[in-house]
């Protein structure tokens, strides 16, 4: 019996052989590897790389070629580089780093693209301004944005080389932002055959990890390269569309390649015990019917669903009670211990923002698709000004760490840049005083117990030149005194002043700037993964012995997900039905994926806490879907 189980546990051995067959430099074949939760995707990626290097190392060296591996995060890059022992023939990078490495140097083409891009943006903004009947905060911000973009457009002919930092902020006039780099890379690869040839000559094999979350425009460009260069290019996509958690990925990735692609599939789940694997299989079943099997040497595992009424009086007490109950059920005291390692996952970021105290910061930026992704992964330049520059300065000064303050300024402030020291000449003492005065002006915002807003901080940073102001915040960095107001009125024509916002538009940055500044502290802890709660994005690729998933539509206030619908206590809307009929991504699809990802993080035991307007209805539906047995559900 043991020998049979061992054989079952090795059921995926043929997958690595199939992938290796695709990575033949003489007869390349592209592939999409389905790798569900806990399937050992990174292990297969490593095996594939080592096999190719063993077989083709000298050939790659002779032709000055490498294997490209694109991953989602810097942490994933480090993991893969470590596994292949930092082999120089494997170039591992995030998508932004990789794209920049391909387009860096094509400065004339970048300039031409930016000219068209900025002019189109200006034209769109001016068309909206032409419909304005009253001066509002939104129209004022839009007018300033037009001015900012027009200035940038006018300066393009003077820029010899463009700059970009994939891991930081890009605020100079010669800098490209993250979205522009992806758009440039996608268009250049699609429209410029020369760039396709350059890419394939340098990287005859490209492996894309977490391909379901790779930016859609760039993924489509890679698929176009594969079609044009398939006789000498192998594109390997690794991932699982069920684990797509970002809105910028391709909806139909698993249906976007031709029949000559290989489609290996991994059946094993090496992470979770049998009961948890059964649960995620049932959650997934309506989508594509794919199933996984648990390892034979895994313990059985325990799952429980606890249901209570929506808008419970004290959720904290309920969730503590659930942990205590799980300690009894599992006979695992770690569940009940204050120091126990229980990972609490919440299903919508609004829940984290409310519970951790940064709702006013979070809400406006989350509503806009243009700012949403950067908000969630901590890369939004307008926000990083405060989280990575201002906040560390304030905290360092409060601790009396003047060396820390100076280090931050030397790295990020133009007041203490190398160029500033050279320009100051013999007046460097004055320059240092100017930097010190700027910090003092910032800290003075907290005098007499005041609690400044982000707007208050932005004004001081702009007026003192403490840090460069990102483009998105430039329209709001000037105080709206009477002179400025009159200048804007003159620019926009003879229209009346009004307090409301025109055209129903959300003043995203303006609303954010009205939030209390120190909400940046808990936001930063949340993004860094050190807060009390985490989400499916924050635990991407990670695993935990004990997982508690907290589900509450009312608290989440999200419009992208609906667990009341998934658990059968609320009807689908006409929009849901239309999207499903047209093959579009629906709220139910997104909700099911989110539940799958969070439940699949558990390695030993799993508790779901569901706040529902109809606990009995949710219980009946869960049993009917065969997610849980009646004995696994408790109504609190």
**Distance from the first to the final alpha carbon of the chain:** 42
Neighbours of 360 (CB within 10 A): 16
String of DSSP letters for 99-132: HHHHHTT-HHHHHHHHHHHHHHHHHHHHHHHTT-
Q: How confident is the model at residue 444 (pLDDT cuts 50, 70, 90)?
A: very high
Look up residue 580 and give its two tokens: 């499903």
Question: Which CATH superfamily includes the segment(s) 2-103+181-266?
Answer: P-loop containing nucleotide triphosphate hydrolases (3.40.50.300)
**Alpha-carbon Rg for the chain in angstroms:** 27
Which helix (H) or strand (E) segment holds residue 237: the answer is strand 234-239
Residues pairing with 71 in the sheet: 94
d(CA 161, CA 268): 49
d(CA 501, CA 478): 19
Q: Is 81 exposed, middle or buried (0-12, 13-18, 19+ CB in 10 A)?
A: middle
What are the CA-CA distances from residue 32 to residues 200, 216, 261, 262, 265 (Å)? Answer: 19, 16, 7, 6, 9
Neighbours of 422 (CB within 10 A): 9
What is the bridge-based pairing of β-strands 31-34 and 134-135?
unpaired
What are the CA-CA distances from residue 300 to residues 273, 336, 630 (Å)? Answer: 5, 21, 18
Of residues 134 and 421, more confidently modeled:
134
> What mean pLDDT do residues 93-117 have?
92
Look up residue 529 and give its two tokens: 């993964």
Read off φ and ψ for residue 183, nearest 5 degrees. -65, -40
What is the bridge-based pairing of β-strands 234-239 and 31-34?
parallel
d(CA 390, CA 452): 13
> What mean pLDDT do residues 104-117 have?
92
The answer to whether the Cα torsion of 244, 249, 251, 254 is positive or negative is negative
String of DSSP letters for 164-213: --TTS---STTBPPHHHHHHHHHHHHHH-HHHHHHHHHH-SEEEETTGGG
The residue among 17, 22, 12, 184 whose CA lies nearest residue 96 is: 184
What is the bridge-based pairing of β-strands 602-612 and 302-309?
parallel
What are the CA-CA distances from residue 226 to residues 101, 181, 196, 256, 386 (Å)? Answer: 19, 21, 9, 12, 42
Look up residue 109 and give its two tokens: 């083409």
Indicate whether 537 pLDDT > 60. no
CA angle centred on 626, ends 36 and 589, rounded to 5°: 50
Residues recorded for the chain? 636
Look up residue 328 and give its two tokens: 């009894």
The residue among 444, 481, 436 whose CA lies nearest residue 460 is: 444
Give residues with Cβ within 8 angstroms of 463, minimum separation 6: 441
> What mean pLDDT do residues 596-617 have?
93
Indicate whether 484 pLDDT > 50. no
Of residues 56 and 583, more confidently modeled:
56
DSSP state of 87: -
CA atoms lying within 13 Å on the CB side of residue 261: 23
The answer to whether domain 2-103+181-266 and domain 274-348+535-635 are alike in fold is: yes
Architecture of domain 274-348+535-635: 3-Layer(aba) Sandwich (3.40)
pTM (2 decimals)? 0.77
Look up residue 199 and give its two tokens: 């890419």
Q: Is 256 exposed, middle or buried (0-12, 13-18, 19+ CB in 10 A)?
A: middle
Domain chopping of the chain, boundaries:
2-103+181-266, 107-180, 274-348+535-635, 375-520
Q: What percent of the chain has pLDDT over 90?
A: 45
Do 212 and 503 touch, CB atoms closer than 8 A? no
Q: Mean pLDDT lowest for which of 154-168, 343-357, 453-467?
A: 343-357
Indicate whether 391 pLDDT > 80. yes
Indicate whether 16 pLDDT > 70. yes
Of residues 145 and 350, more confidently modeled:
145
Look up residue 128 and give its two tokens: 């909206």
Which helix (H) or strand (E) segment holds residue 487: the answer is helix 482-492
Give residues with Cβ within 8 angstroms of 389, minimum separation 6: 408, 412, 467
Q: How confident is the model at residue 64 (pLDDT cuts 50, 70, 90)?
A: very high
pLDDT value for 266: 92
d(CA 137, CA 476): 10
Q: Which of 4-18, 288-302, 357-371, 420-434 has the highest mean pLDDT?
A: 288-302
Q: What percent of the chain has pLDDT over 70?
A: 87
Of residues 237 and 4, more confidently modeled:
237
């Amino acid at each position: 019996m043991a020998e049979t189980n061992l054989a079952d546990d090795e059921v995926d051995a043929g997958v690595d052989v199939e992938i290796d067959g695709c990575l033949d430099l003489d007869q390349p074949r592209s592939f999409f590897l389905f790798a569900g939760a806990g399937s050992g995707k990174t292990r297969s990626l490593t095996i594939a790389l080592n096999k190719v290097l063993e077989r083709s190392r000298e050939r790659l060296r002779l032709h000055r070629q490498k294997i490209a591996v694109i991953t989602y995060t810097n942490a994933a890059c480090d993991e893969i580089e470590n596994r292949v022992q930092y082999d120089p023939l494997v170039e591992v990078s995030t998508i932004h780093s990789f794209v920049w490495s391909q387009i860096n140097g094509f400065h004339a083409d970048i300039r031409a693209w930016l000219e068209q891009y900025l002019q189109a943006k200006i034209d769109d903004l001016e068309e909206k301004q032409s419909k304005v009947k009253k001066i509002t905060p939104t129209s004022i911000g839009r007018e300033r944005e037009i001015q900012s973009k027009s200035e940038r457009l006018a300066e393009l002919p003077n820029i010899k080389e463009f700059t970009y930092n994939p891991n930081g902020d890009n605020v100079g006039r010669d800098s490209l932002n993250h979205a522009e780099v992806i758009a440039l890379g996608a268009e250049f690869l699609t429209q410029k055959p020369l760039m396709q040839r350059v890419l394939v000559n340098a990287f005859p094999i490209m492996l894309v990890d977490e391909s379901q979350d790779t930016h859609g425009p760039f993924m489509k460009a890679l698929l176009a390269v594969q079609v044009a260069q398939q006789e000498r290019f192998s594109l390997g996509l690794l991932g699982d569309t069920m684990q797509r958690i970002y809105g910028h990925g391709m909806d139909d990735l698993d249906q976007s390649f031709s029949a000559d692609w290989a489609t290996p599939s991994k059946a094993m789940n090496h992470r979770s015990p049998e009961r948890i694997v059964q649960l995620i299989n049932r959650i997934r079943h309506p989508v594509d019917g794919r199933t996984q099997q648990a390892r034979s040497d895994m313990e059985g595992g325990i799952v429980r669903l606890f249901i209570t009424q929506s808008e419970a009086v004290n959720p904290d007490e309920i969730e503590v009670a659930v942990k205590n109950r799980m300690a009894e059920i599992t006979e695992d005291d770690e569940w009940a211990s204050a120091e126990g390692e229980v990972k609490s996952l919440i299903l919508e970021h609004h829940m984290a923002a409310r519970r951790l105290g940064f709702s006013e910061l979070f809400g406006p930026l989350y509503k806009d698709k243009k700012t949403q992704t950067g908000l969630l992964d901590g890369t939004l330049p307008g926000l990083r000004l405060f989280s990575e520059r201002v906040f560390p300065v304030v905290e360092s000064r409060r601790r009396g760490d003047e060396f820390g303050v100076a280090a931050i300024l030397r790295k990020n402030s133009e007041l203490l840049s190398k160029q500033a020291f050279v320009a100051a000449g013999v007046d460097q003492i004055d320059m240092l005083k100017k930097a010190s005065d700027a910090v003092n002006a910032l800290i003075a915002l907290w005098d007499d117990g005041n609690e400044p807003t982000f707007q208050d901080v932005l004004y001081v940073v702009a007026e003192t030149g403490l840090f460069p102001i990102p483009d998105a915040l430039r329209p709001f960095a000037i105080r709206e005194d009477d002179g400025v107001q009159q200048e804007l009125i003159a620019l926009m024509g003879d229209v009346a002043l009004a307090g409301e916002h025109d055209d129903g538009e959300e003043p995203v940055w303006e609303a954010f700037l009205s939030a209390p500044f120190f909400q940046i502290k808990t936001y930063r802890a949340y993004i860094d993964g050190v807060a009390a709660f985490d989400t499916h994005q924050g635990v991407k690729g990670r695993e935990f012995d004990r997982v508690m998933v907290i589900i509450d539509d009312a608290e989440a206030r999200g419009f992208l997900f609906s667990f009341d619908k998934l658990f059968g206590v609320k009807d689908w809307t006409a929009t849901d039905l239309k999207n499903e009929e047209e093959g579009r991504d629906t709220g139910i699809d997104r909700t099911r994926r989110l539940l799958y990802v969070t439940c699949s993080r558990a390695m030993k035991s799993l508790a779901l806490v569901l706040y529902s307007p109809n606990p009995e209805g949710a219980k009946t539906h869960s049993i009917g879907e065969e997610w849980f047995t009646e004995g696994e559900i408790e109504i609190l």
